[in-house]
Amino acid sequence: MKNKAIFLDRDGTINIDKNYMYKIEDFEFVENAVEGLKILYDLGYKLIIVTNQAGIGRGYYTEEDLEKLNKYMEDELVKSGIKIEKCYFCPHHAEHGIGKYKKDCECRKPKAGMLLEGIKEFDIDVTKSYMIGDKMSDAKAGINANVKPIIVRTGKEITKEIEESGIEVYSSLYEFAIKLKNKSEN
């Protein structure tokens, strides 16, 4: 049987978005995000992070810096009984990337490359899966990968494009998790 997954944007969805953040001391979970992730994990969803990290491409920090931060986040979540299956990241930027990072790739959201990789690697049933993020590019990546998009209000401003899109918007990851839990109990 295939697995169900929650694909998650990181900055603005799981942690407070601080531009080009890579230092552990700057990392701060969004209020109730850990509790929301625990609910989703306990409902049997594989939790997979898909995050654009143009700060690497711009030379602000390294892939190693990002991996250290992601490991810190994963270790903190393990303490609450939550397993992140994998953190996929896109270091590229077609316009502002430097060197090998300056390219128009298939992984940068709104393209679906990271999600498609996760779907394949973890044998995901897209009909039972979601993409949660705080921007339209997150939602579009979900749509492009055939998973249901969800927008949360804990990061970037909700744009007119989002309001008019018909995509479900929640105040937070936690609010969405509660709704999904209640739905699964009925």
Catalytic residues: 9, 11
Reduce the DSSP state of residue 69 to 3 states and report it. Answer: helix
CA distance 129 to 45: 8
Angle (CA) 97-7-164 rounded to 5° is 85
Reduce the DSSP state of residue 81 to 3 states and report it. Answer: coil
Return the structure tokens found at 63: 């892939």
Entry field: residues in the chain: 186
